[in-house]
Chains A and B, each alone.
Chain A
Amino acid sequence: MTDLLFAALSAALVAASVAVVLSRNLYRATYALAAALASTAGLFFLLSSPLLAAVQLLLYTGGVLTLVVYALVLTESAEDPRPWRRPLPAAAASVLLFASLAPLARHVVAPPSRPAIPGAREAGVFLFRDYAVAFELLSVLLLAALFGALAIARKETSS
């Protein structure tokens, strides 16, 4: 059952990824990205991290989809008249990258007796005890990104 779900989600993820880079219509590409991120959420669920699956769906898929669709609506530039720039060398580089990465996958094998998979409780303990400083820094980063985005995108009124 798990293997079947894994195969289906993998196929959906790869198909959606290819659709993201090949779609000329950027709305279509954005929805394909949402499908890819949602399949990844399903994979996170299979990897026994329902917490991450929820975060991926709510924050990543929902947030990114909303932001990108807003940007597309605001600029009315959804059609890409000449989308490609040197596609053949890019495809060659991509295939070469995959071919050089693929042998590494064999080196990661699960230990014979897999330890119990930690859940949301352990992750919360890690987040707020061991990595509390990083967590606070992250909130500062998010605030800086928010203000930076506002400062960059707002219209100049005194010019």
Chain B
Amino acid sequence: MTPGRLLLLSFAVFSVGVFGVLARRHAIAVLLSLELMFNAANLAILSVAWARGLAQGTVLVLFGIAVTVAEVAVGLALFLLAERVRRTATLDDLSLLRG
């Protein structure tokens, strides 16, 4: 277990998440892929903090997790609203803001 390998792992998970965000249509699927990307970022932060023995890394990851949970709550609320008002959860059909 080396910092380089840990970072490679987090890069791989982040790339998989990017693929999910770009390629899926369903709002929940995109949200889950976003979670993967957040998770990969947390792993990268903690890997570097572990390699350098920095306690601040723990605090940063704690904040990251809290922000992510808040983001999930708001994202799911938006999803529920879209389902109720527009009767769709497919992001392609939610293009109201497109100019």
Contacts and interface: CB of A to CB of B under 8 A. Distances in A.
B is a partner of A: yes
Contacts of B28: 26, 29-30, 68, 71-72, 77
Interface residues of A, number: 86
SS of B interface (majority):
helix
B32 A138 contact: no
A75 B89 contact: yes
Interface of B: 1-9, 11-20, 22-26, 28-29, 31-33, 35-36, 39, 42-43, 46-48, 50-56, 58-59, 61-63, 65-74, 76-81, 83-84, 89-90, 92
A144 B32 CA distance: 22
B47 A47 contact: yes
Interface of A: 2-3, 6, 10, 13-14, 17-18, 20-21, 26, 29-30, 33, 36-37, 40, 43-44, 46-49, 51-52, 55-56, 59-60, 63-64, 67-68, 70-72, 74-75, 77, 80, 82-87, 89-91, 93-95, 97-98, 101-102, 104-106, 108-111, 114-118, 122-123, 126-127, 131, 134, 138, 141-142, 144-146, 148-150, 152-153, 155
Contacts of A146: 70, 73
A55 B66 CA distance: 10
Given A75-B89, A118-B58, A141-B67, A67 B11 contact: no
B46 A44 contact: yes
A48 B57 CA distance: 12
